Amino acid sequence: MRLYETVLIIRQDVSATQAENLTNDMVGIIENGGGSIKKREYWGLRSLAYRIKKNRKGHYILLNLEADSATLNEFERLMRLNEDILRFLTVALDEVEEGPSIMMQARPERGERGDRGDRGDRSDRRSTSDRRPAAEPAAEAAAEADSAADAKAEEKEEA
């Protein structure tokens, strides 16, 4: 018997408990065929990279299993027939990795932001009365463009 790794994506409108029950049914198929489950992980409801059969999210489940080819073929056939399973991928392994998969390893928690360092007190900033209104720079630019156009017109008249 060979080792395999299978990842299932189950529809988003199926509850987590229904996804677990569906997984138990699939595990039963493997065990009835003489295989065994080495590792089983529920990765949770995650966003899909693209829509699959009008679904944007799915329940991800990882199964590391040991089975013969006939059992694996039946397992994959039943997954194809099940409407709740959006996608699955089975890959042959040389050995099963011990411990949690990369997806299950805890991400380091973001620390509290706490003190913002040397940002200083906000009262040292310019007050709003020191600032120019937003329309003023545009008015100055328009006035400069008008004066440049007038200067060009005067040069044409002199020539």
The full set of domain ranges for the chain reads 2-93
61 vs 7: CA distance, rounded Å = 6
Residue 39 has pLDDT above 80, yes or no: yes
Among candidates 70, 79, 60, 49, which has minimal Cα distance to 11? 60
Q: Thinking of the domain 2-93, which architecture would CATH place it in?
A: 2-Layer Sandwich (3.30)
Q: For the whole model, what pTM was predicted? A: 0.64
**Helix boundaries (H) for 9-128:** 16-32, 69-81
- Residue-wise pLDDT for 79-121, tens only, equals 999 999 999 999 998 888 787 777 777 655 555 655 656 666 6
Mean pLDDT of the chain: 81
